[in-house]
């Protein structure tokens, strides 16, 4: 199971922002680029964005065990309208009753020709 956590902001030290809560993840590096780092945490893979401003202590390489501190920052927020009594969906349309069947039309009686 792959769990991706994309962080838009660079890694932030605890205390950088008084309002943002800091989190951390520890595990071996599976993948490393200039823009992301992928770490294995138990059976999950965590993908975290990084920038040139990310503070790195020590040498990063695939297989090395690291502890990453990060914060979560919303990139977009979409508000949904409240569900109120005036916005209730219309009740379902009742089913149409079946049409009554017409009685069968009797076949015409055979015409007898005089002899």
Place of tokens 């040139």: 52
3-state secondary structure of 87: helix
Residue 43 phi, psi dihedral angles, 5° rounding: -100, 5
In this prediction, residue 1 has a pLDDT band, given cuts at 50, 70 and 90, of very low
**25-77 per-position pLDDT tens digit:** 999 999 999 999 999 999 999 999 999 999 999 999 999 999 999 998 889 99
Q: Is the whole-model pTM more than 0.85?
A: no
**64-98 per-position pLDDT tens digit:** 999 999 998 889 999 998 876 555 667 788 888 77
- Cβ 55 vs Cβ 66: under 8 Å: no
Angle at 61 between CA 50 and CA 52, to 5 degrees: 25
């Amino acid at each position: 199971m792959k769990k991706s956590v994309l962080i838009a902001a660079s890694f932030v030290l605890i205390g950088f922002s008084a309002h943002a809560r800091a989190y951390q993840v520890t595990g071996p590096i599976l993948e490393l680029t200039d823009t992301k780092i992928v770490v294995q945490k138990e059976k999950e893979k965590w993908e975290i964005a990084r920038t040139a401003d990310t503070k790195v202590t020590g040498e990063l390489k695939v297989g090395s065990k690291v502890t990453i501190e990060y914060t979560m920052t919303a990139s977009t927020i979409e508000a949904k309208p409240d569900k109120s009594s005036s916005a209730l969906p219309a009740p379902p349309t009742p089913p149409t009753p079946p049409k009554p069947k017409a009685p069968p039309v009797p076949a015409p009686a055979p015409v007898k020709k005089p002899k």
